[in-house]
Structure 1
Amino acid sequence: MDEKAARIAFLGLAIGGALGLIVGAASGNALVGLGVGALAGVFIGWFVGAARQRGRRDG
């Protein structure tokens, strides 16, 4: 994974964590929301970064 893809994954972590914290606070358990949101954000960020790398390599 190159530096750009790692930055995208970290950005996904930050955004997912923030959104998870908001959803978790609304549901009554902010820590679980933070954890689930951060994991989801990393997954989405990693997927976008990998797709960018593959697109650059294929095209």
Structure 2
Amino acid sequence: MAGKIRITQIRSTIGRPAKHGRIIRSLGIKKMNYTVEHNADPVILGQVKKVSHLVKVEEV
């Protein structure tokens, strides 16, 4: 992926490991169905991979 990605939280962090909640917060996502845009760099892509079951990712 190159450029920007749009990340939307589609599932709750309730009942998930605390680490997943911290990753979601570090991405800038504040609540369900909240969308943020980030550059598609290795750090962001690694975080997204760890919580891929909780978010939807689109290339912009």
* TM-score normalised by length of structure 1: 0.26
Relative contact order higher in (CA < 8 Å, ≥ 6 apart): 2
Structure (1 or 2) with the larger CA radius of gyration: 1
Structure in which a larger fraction of residues adopt helix: 1
Identify the structure with the greater strand proportion: 2
Q: TM-score, normalised by structure 2?
A: 0.25
